[in-house]
Amino acid sequence: MDADDASTGETGSTKKHARLGRNDIPVPGFNKGEIVWARVNKYPSHPAKFLNLSDEEAGPKLVASRRYTGDVLVEFLKVPEIHRFGWVGRRTICEMGDPQVDRQRLQETLQKKMKKKEYIQEAKEGYRCAGSILGLDPEPLLSEVFDQPPPEQKRKRKQSSSKKR
């Protein structure tokens, strides 16, 4: 790569691979009111009701809060009122009820950049609420994810400076 290529971030070829955008996939085929996992940027995934309302159904206040054309409206479960409704990218929505997917989504709240007590508490309450709607027992999975002791981290030993005798 020469200096010109490095400055533009391109290599030899001017052909760029088209990266699929935020909403370059069809709207997920969930029914209105179905419980799903959804995620807003800078927050972990959270249980939500799939709404996908038209602009007329959503009303002007909610439509005005949409940042990206094609985003889907969801209602997050057991979060503060100010965060109750959210527009999410189509790629961030997935089904709830598969233990493997649910475990992965719950574990997002334990990632260092998102690990906040309120996110963890909201995730637990939201998952319990979703479980009651779906007829699932949320407690075994919640215990598995949140009641495990944190993995032991290896402690680095300080290298003792060599002492002259």
Sequence spans of domains, the chain: 35-146
Q: In this predicted structure, what is the pLDDT of residue 26?
A: 84
What is the third-level CATH fold of 35-146? SH3 type barrels. (2.30.30)
Q: Where is average pLDDT lowest: 63-72, 107-116, 153-162?
A: 153-162
pLDDT of residue 73: 96
| pLDDT exceeds cutoff 80 at 65 | yes
Average of per-residue pLDDT across 7-26: 58
The pLDDT, as a whole number, for residue 136 is 95
Res 8: pLDDT: 46
* Whole-angstrom distance, CA of residue 120 vs CA of residue 126: 10
CB-based contacts of 134: which residues, under 8 Å, 6+ apart? Answer: 35, 96, 97
Instruction: Please tell me which residue, 78 or 149, carries the higher pLDDT value.
Output: 78
Over range 147-152, report the average pLDDT.
70
Give the pTM. Answer: 0.75
